[in-house]
């Protein structure tokens, strides 16, 4: 197999003369319009039928973020900081892994989720990556519309390099990034706040309950449950916390962002990072400001707060 063909379909079986990968790309192309349609139905159901106080301003901010990224930023920003690293890894790969068996596809999906776990963990613990990822956590409500809030600067951070080990092993970059797209697509449904715990699925898969914990800024839940499709890597590496009945999730950043302006949402993390780097008293402090954890800086919206004692939470609950 030539490198070109490997990059294109990775040896995936073709149906009707069309590479399977092309079909997956088509699915991903229609994923955002589909997600917007379903998120809008959820919003209408919650607002009109359930008569909940749905935050439409936050909905339109998420919509502007998603449409701006997909149809404007992606069209003009074709470069990616990680591209040279990905290219280098693939040129010097250890093996060439054809994706023509179910085993190879399963290993790719699990391997991609493993890399996603570390990408996501770094996105919370390294302020350079947090500056973009904070956007996903900036909504003060959890709903399906919040799922497509990612910001516009992801390609400029080099975060794609987290997939380089998989590519160095021999998985072609095209299928690896398609798997990454499908991983994000999987995560759409876990932003539905109304989905309860799902029995034995909670042991293996990332579920709505686990992702509620991930989006919560309570000290009990902060920086937990980084998984994409699976929750097993959180369980293995000590970052798993299960949702508690006595600690209701408080969504949004630790220092809540109250603006619904898509530009404020998109760049507030970078503005705070630049401000803190500018004010740093030494080059070492400046460097730590960029590669250190975001909770060292209150303006990063990530400083931990003391845990809420269960008794205090109980006191806030309305009396029967
Ligand atoms: Zn996150
Ligand atoms: Zn999320």
State the total domains in the chain: 1
Mean pLDDT of 115-132: 97
Contact 72, 78 (CB under 8 A): no
Mean pLDDT of 255-267: 96
**Averaged pLDDT score across all residues of the chain:** 88
Q: How far is the CA of 286 from the centre of ligand 1 (A)?
A: 24
Q: CA-CA distance, 153 to 77, in Å (whole number)? A: 9
In the predicted model, is pLDDT for residue 69 greater than 80?
yes
Q: Which ligand is nearest to the CA of 191?
A: 2
Task: Average the pLDDT over each of 78-87, 102-111, 198-207 and give the range with the smallest value.
Answer: 78-87
Helices 31-44 and 173-186 pack at an angle, to 10 degrees, of: 10
In the predicted model, is pLDDT for residue 10 greater than 60?
no
Q: What are phi and psi of 15, to 5 degrees?
A: -115, 135
pLDDT digits (tens, 9 = 90+) for 13-58: 444 445 677 778 778 888 999 999 999 999 999 999 999 999 999 9
pLDDT digits (tens, 9 = 90+) for 90-117: 999 999 999 999 999 999 999 999 999 9
Q: How far is the CA of 19 from the centre of ligand 1 (A)?
A: 33
Report the pLDDT value the prediction gives residue 96, as an integer from 0 to 100: 96
Its pTM stands at 0.87
The structure tokens 């070109």 sit at: 4
Q: How far is the CA of 189 from the centre of ligand 2 (A)?
A: 10
Q: How far is the CA of 100 from the centre of ligand 2 (A)?
A: 32
81: Cβ contacts below 8 Å, ≥ 6 apart = 155, 156, 157, 158, 160, 161
Mean pLDDT of 219-223: 96
Domain that holds residue 289: 3-316
Q: How far is the CA of 175 from the centre of ligand 2 (A)?
A: 23
């Amino acid at each position: 197999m030539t490198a070109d063909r490997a990059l294109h379909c990775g040896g995936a079986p073709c149906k009707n003369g069309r590479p399977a990968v092309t079909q997956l790309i088509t699915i991903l192309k229609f994923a955002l319009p589909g997600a917007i349609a379903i998120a809008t139905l959820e919003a209408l159901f919650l607002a009109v039928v359930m008569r909940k106080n749905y935050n439409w301003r936050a909905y339109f901010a998420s919509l502007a973020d998603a449409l701006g990224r997909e149809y404007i930023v992606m069209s003009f920003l074709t470069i990616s900081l990680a591209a040279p690293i990905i290219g280098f890894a693939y040129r010097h790969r250890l093996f060439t892994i054809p994706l023509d068996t179910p085993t190879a596809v399963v290993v790719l999906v699990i391997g991609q989720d493993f890399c996603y776990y570390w990408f996501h963990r770094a996105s919370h613990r390294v302020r350079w990556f947090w500056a973009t990822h904070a956007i996903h956590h900036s909504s003060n409500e959890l709903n399906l519309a919040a799922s497509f809030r990612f910001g516009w600067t992801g390609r400029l951070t080099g975060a794609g390099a987290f997939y380089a080990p998989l590519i160095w092993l021999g998985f072609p970059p095209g299928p690896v990034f398609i798997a990454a797209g499908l991983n994000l697509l999987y995560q759409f449904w876990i932003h539905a706040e109304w989905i309860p715990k799902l029995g034995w699925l909670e042991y293996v898969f990332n579920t709505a309950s686990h992702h509620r914990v991930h989006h919560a800024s309570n000290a009990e839940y902060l920086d937990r449950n980084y998984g994409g499709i699976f929750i097993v890597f959180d369980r293995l590496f000590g970052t798993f916390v299960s949702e508690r009945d006595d600690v209701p999730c408080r969504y949004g950043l630790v220092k809540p962002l109250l603006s619904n302006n898509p530009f404020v949402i998109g760049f507030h993390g970078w503005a705070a990072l630049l401000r803190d780097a500018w004010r740093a008293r030494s080059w070492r402090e400046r460097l730590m400001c960029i590669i250190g954890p975001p909770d060292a800086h209150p303006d990063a919206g990530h400083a931990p707060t003391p845990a809420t004692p269960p008794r205090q939470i109980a006191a806030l609950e309305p009396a029967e």
